[in-house]
Structure 1
Amino acid sequence: MSRLLLLNGPNLGILGRREPEIYGTDTLADIEKAVAEEVADRGWTVSSVQDDSEGTLVRAVNDHPDTVGAIVNPGALMIAGWSLRDALAAYPRPWIEVHLSNVWARESFRHESVIAPLAGGVVVGLGAYGYRLAAKALLHLVPE
């Protein structure tokens, strides 16, 4: 069975109670379940990693080169997560960057992602549904 890497960065482990007016009320467990449902028909399972430490996320990317692809919400690491960027540059599969909020409608420091230029696509501002869209995109990008 093939696995999809679902990678979530700092503060995403507290979704559901973290500023719900910005990030919504879905928990990370809800998102993991939704992604798993989206890819189940292809026979994919989901390997989910969330951590507040960039080093742990780098290790997760480096430890999962055999996955079919990845959905990555780097959180604030999009701004200056250079080691995460380098790990994703070496990741051999397609991946999609996701952000729950529309980062360009928020503070100016959120307007640039150091990892987005490497991504197969970027989904922003659609809340938890953005993860489903990223999963659909990977189903399209990864040959059967």
Structure 2
Amino acid sequence: MGSIYVFHGVNIHLLGTREPEIYGKMTLEEINQKIRFMAEQNSQKVECRQTNHEGVMVDWITALNPDDFLIINPGAWTHSSYALFDAIKGVGVPALEVHLSNIYARETFRAHSVIAGSCMGQISGLGSDSYLLALAYALEFQRFRDHEGIKNEEDK
């Protein structure tokens, strides 16, 4: 079974203090604890990382294996990073894009994700539960893929 990775992008380390009326009062570490707890309850390890440096994020993504699973909250890179798009597509790793807030109910520029086309899907607007729903899907996807020998969506 591949590993599950949760990568948090630019400014996500400010959770809990940055615009809590939009992003909530939970800190990044509290969110990561919830993610790790849920993974442990399902006998799965998950690695959570955060960076404010796009090149670092690209390096992390391109180091993944096709049998891994990526949950990514790109932050503001959602709307501008073709580098992240290309990295996810290039590696061929199954990925879900996650957002705490509903990006479609905010400023107009936030309603467009350049990352979405490289991902299997997107979950947004449910606060920290967005991550947990993505993790639930990743766990089931990994179980199914392991039992059926499916490498990724393109192999179906």
TM-score by length of 2: 0.85
Question: C-alpha deviations, 1:75-130, integer Å up to 9, x for none?
Answer: 11011101111111123332110000001100000011011122111101000111
- The residue number in structure 1 matching 2:46 is 46
Separation in 2, partners of 1:134, 1:101:
14
Separation in 1, partners of 2:19, 2:45:
29
| Preserved CA contact (<8 Å) 1:98 1:124 | yes
Deviation at 1:2, TM superposition (A): 5.1
| Preserved CA contact (<8 Å) 1:23 1:100 | yes
Q: Secondary structure at the match of 1:72?
A: strand
Q: Secondary structure at the match of 1:49?
A: strand
Question: C-alpha deviations, 1:25-65, integer Å up to 9, x for none?
Answer: 11111111111122224432122221111111001111232
Q: Secondary structure at the match of 2:3?
A: strand
Unpaired stretches in structure 2, ≥5 consecutive residues: 147-156
- The residue number in structure 2 matching 1:58 is 58
**Pair 1:110-2:110 in alignment:** yes
Amino acid at match of 1:118: S
**Larger-Rg structure:** 2
Query: Aligned ranges for residues 85-104 of structure 1 at < 5 Å?
Result: 85-104=85-104
The structure 1 segments of at least 4 consecutive aligned residues displaced by more than 4 Å after TM superposition are none
Unpaired stretches in structure 1, ≥5 consecutive residues: none
Deviation at 1:67, TM superposition (A): 6.1
**Pair 1:74-2:68 in alignment:** no
User: Structure 1 residues 59-68 or 98-107, which shifts more?
Assistant: 59-68
Separation in 1, partners of 2:21, 2:67:
33
Separation in 2, partners of 1:36, 1:92:
24
| Preserved CA contact (<8 Å) 1:4 1:67 | no
| Preserved CA contact (<8 Å) 1:2 1:45 | no
Count of residue pairs the alignment pairs up: 144
TM-score by length of 1: 0.92
Deviation at 1:70, TM superposition (A): 1.1
